């Protein structure tokens, strides 16, 4: 269980933060950038949920699970390589990846077929889901960059999860746009 009695500790006043192992790194460390960007993704999903709670309860329940998963993913990433195999360490699992894939399939099965690229927009929920999608793509790019470093492993399930998340958010945005009927589509060359 997490207990936070004091919010400020002053330990980061020197521009460093602690990883899960306790090792201190610069606040701009790529690993910290990764889980910080996951936090941004989570916040954007929270905004979307302001518009899904009442009108789209099935989607809202999926988004609630994803918000929790993003904290799992952040916990997974906050441990550097020297603690990679520590017992009891929280890691994203294959089951979480499989669940998000299943939810993508469930939502996508109800959508109108795509006939053009979709522009971010439509309903407020869809707009915020598109925002969350773009932030999750940035998190994925950062995680892949981190994983490419020789001494900075990132779990395979974590990489698969973040890749699927942007797919989920795209499909969820279309679902929130009246199952694709209210999608805003790209018209190539429209404003020439």
Question: Does the residue 12 lie in any domain?
Answer: no
Q: CA 10: distance to chain centroid? A: 29
Q: Which two tokens stand for residue 128?
A: 């915020």
Write the CB contacts of 109 (distance below 8 Å, at least 6 apart in sequence).
none
Nearest Cα neighbor of 16 from 34, 40, 32, 4 is 32
Q: What is the mean pLDDT of the chain?
A: 90
pTM: 0.91
Q: Number of structural domains, the chain?
A: 1
- What was the pLDDT predicted at 36? 95
* DSSP-based three-state secondary structure for 160: helix
82: pLDDT strictly greater than 60? no
Question: Does the residue 101 lie in any domain?
Answer: yes
Mean pLDDT value of segment 115-130: 95
- What was the pLDDT predicted at 22? 83
- What was the pLDDT predicted at 115? 86
- CA distances 151 to 145, 148, 154, Å, are 12, 9, 10
83: pLDDT strictly greater than 70? no
Query: Residue 169 belongs to a domain with what CATH number?
Result: 1.20.1200.10
- What was the pLDDT predicted at 16? 79
Q: Which helix (H) or strand (E) holds 94?
A: helix 94-108
169: pLDDT strictly greater than 90? yes
Q: Which domain holds residue 57?
A: 23-79+89-110+119-182
- What was the pLDDT predicted at 89? 74
Question: Does the residue 68 lie in any domain?
Answer: yes
Q: Which two tokens stand for residue 17?
A: 């933060």
User: Which residue in the block uniquely carries the two structure tokens 């990679």?
Assistant: 84
- What was the pLDDT predicted at 87? 54
Question: Does the residue 159 lie in any domain?
Answer: yes
- What was the pLDDT predicted at 112? 85
Question: Does the residue 7 lie in any domain?
Answer: no
Question: Does the residue 43 lie in any domain?
Answer: yes
Question: Does the residue 73 lie in any domain?
Answer: yes
153: pLDDT strictly greater than 90? no
81: pLDDT strictly greater than 80? no
State how far the Cα of 102 lies from the Cα of 104, in Å rounded to an integer: 5
- What was the pLDDT predicted at 145? 98
- ∠ Cα 30 35 38 (to 5°): 130
Compute the radius of gyration of the chain from its Cα atoms: 18
Question: Does the residue 1 lie in any domain?
Answer: no
């Amino acid at each position: 269980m997490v207990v936070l009695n004091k919010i400020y500790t002053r330990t980061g006043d020197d521009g460093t933060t602690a990883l899960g192992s306790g090792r201190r790194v610069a606040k701009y460390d790529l690993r910290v950038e990764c889980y910080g960007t996951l936090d941004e993704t989570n916040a954007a999903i929270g905004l979307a949920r302001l518009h899904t709670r009442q009108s789209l309860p099935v989607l809202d329940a999926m988004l609630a699970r994803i918000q929790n998963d993003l904290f799992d993913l952040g916990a997974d990433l906050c441990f550097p390589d020297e603690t990679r195999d520590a017992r009891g360490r929280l890691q994203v699992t294959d089951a979480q990846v499989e669940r998000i894939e299943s939810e993508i399939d469930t939502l996508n099965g109800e959508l109108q077929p795509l006939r053009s690229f979709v522009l971010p927009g439509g309903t407020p929920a869809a707009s915020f889901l598109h925002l969350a999608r773009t932030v999750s793509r940035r998190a994925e790019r950062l995680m892949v960059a981190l994983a490419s470093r020789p001494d900075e492993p990132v779990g395979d399930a974590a990489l698969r999860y973040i890749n699927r998340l942007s797919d989920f958010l795209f499909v969820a945005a279309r679902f929130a746009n009246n199952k694709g009927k209210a999608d805003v589509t790209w018209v190539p060359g429209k404003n020439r």
